[in-house]
Amino acid sequence: MGTITTRKRKDGATRYTAQIRIMQKGATVYTESQTFDRKATAQAWIKKRETELAEPGAIAKAKRSGVTVKEMIDKYLEEYEKIRPLGKTKRATLKAISETWLGGLKDIEVTSQALVEYGNRRMQEDGIQAQTVGNDLAHLGAVLAVARPAWGYDIDPMAMPDARRVLRKMGAVSKSKERTRRPTKDELDRLLTYFCEMRDRRKQQIDMVRVIAFALFSTRRQEEITRIRWDAMRDEDQSVLITDMKNPGQKFGNDVWCHVPDEAWRILQSMPKVSEFVFPYNARSVSASFTRACRFLEIEDLHFHDLRHDGVSRLFELGWDIPRAASVSGHRDWNSMRRYTHLRGKGDPYENWAWLERVITGPTIGARQG
């Protein structure tokens, strides 16, 4: 039964403390209280809570202390690491969220209002972009989606969808901007000349000349290039097995056989078989080497991934249809290939490109790790 106790504050105002005490077999099994400014509000609260607590399992649920967002994130990181490693960006983002005020909230306190406040504060106080807020909430949403059905935590399933809908309307959540950057012939000439000179001076441990050319003609990402194995190549259909191909819903275990265009196939065949991997280098070192070269050559805003963009765009410029181009790039749907419709013209932009023969016939670098 609920009781109401009237209390006077020092300023003379009256406060009403509503208390609910539930007894079972002569013993108190649950108590709860809350203070209100009006007696009618206190009475309404007692009636509402008594009705809720009469539901099966409600008392046990009310007695649980709950877990914080930080504890949920830690559990998610620990358990999923055993199943499949998480990407370093997602892991770092979740760890950062766990250290904010949001990480201190209990599961029952994770409301759409709290998530909207988090998004707004990230933009206003931290000065981050809308797409970063969107990435934060996407990664946290993956944790919340598991926390309720798998671990029984008290998470409102509509809190995240509602928050993202509100933030999107407010302009605080957006998708990352699509890049349309492609290297020019002049930029590629300067890069390849630079790496040839580095190779000839024995200051290059990665065969960046072949790596760049292969990325361009194969459309492969740097991580995928360094995972290609000699025993995962098929001569009969000129294809290679790309392991753990990047996919929004399945980053690991997504192995796909991809067709290798003639130019890229010739580059593969020109590599020395000194390791189980065709390109026995560290993917991050490949990226770092490319970035340093661009900085030295004063080539602005060019990423290694832009070589893939150029390679896929080239396939469409050659007149390839979507299924055929996708057999090379590994894309699963047309929507993800929309950006490659911004083409420079028709025909092969690398027809009679002198660098191709120089790449294939040039000296090689051994299997030293970058």
- Report pLDDT digits (tens) over 55-108: 887 776 666 667 889 999 999 988 876 766 677 788 889 999 999 989 988 888
The number of domains in the chain is 3
Residues 208 and 288 in one domain: yes
Predicted local confidence at residue 48, as pLDDT: 86
Residues 308 and 222 in one domain: yes
Buried b (16+ CB within 10 A) or exposed e, 257-266: ebbbbebbbb
Residues of the chain with pLDDT under 50: 248-250, 367-370
Predicted local confidence at residue 332, as pLDDT: 77
Predicted local confidence at residue 186, as pLDDT: 95
CA distance 36 to 49: 14
Region of 259 please: left (phi>0), alpha (psi -120 to 50) or beta: beta
Residues 100 and 191 in one domain: no
Task: Give which of 220, 212, 230 is closest to 269, Cα–Cα.
Answer: 230
Residues 300 and 208 in one domain: yes
Is residue 235 assigned to a domain? yes
Predicted local confidence at residue 180, as pLDDT: 79
Residues spanned by the domain of 130: 69-169
Residues 57 and 74 in one domain: no
Is residue 314 assigned to a domain? yes
Q: What are phi and psi of 176, to 5 degrees?
A: -65, 145
Hey, what long-range contacts does 336-341 have (CB within 8 A, 24 or more apart)? 337/312, 339/178, 339/179, 339/180, 339/309, 340/309, 340/312, 340/313, 340/315, 340/316, 341/316
Residues 59 and 154 in one domain: no
Is residue 317 assigned to a domain? yes
Joined tokens for residue 209: 């000349």
Is residue 368 assigned to a domain? no
**In this predicted model, what pLDDT tens digit does every residue of 319-340 receive, in sequence order?**
898 889 999 998 877 666 766 6
Residues 59 and 75 in one domain: no
Residues 41 and 149 in one domain: no
Joined tokens for residue 222: 């740097």
**In terms of DSSP bridges, do strands 2-8 and 14-24 run parallel, antiparallel, or are they unpaired?**
antiparallel
324 in Cβ contact with 261 (< 8 Å): no
99 in Cβ contact with 63 (< 8 Å): no
Q: What are phi and psi of 366, to 5 degrees?
A: -70, -165
Predicted local confidence at residue 339, as pLDDT: 66
Whether pTM exceeds 0.75: no
Predicted local confidence at residue 249, as pLDDT: 46
Number of helices (H), then strands (E), belonging to the chain: the values are 15, 6
Strand partners, 6: 16
CATH code of the domain containing 239: 1.10.443.10
Predicted local confidence at residue 303, as pLDDT: 93
Is residue 179 assigned to a domain? no
182 in Cβ contact with 342 (< 8 Å): no
Give Cβ neighbours of residue 146 (< 8 Å, ≥ 6 apart): 76
Sheet containing 233-234, strands listed edge to edge, beginning at the edge strand earlier in sequence: 233-234, 239-242, 256-259
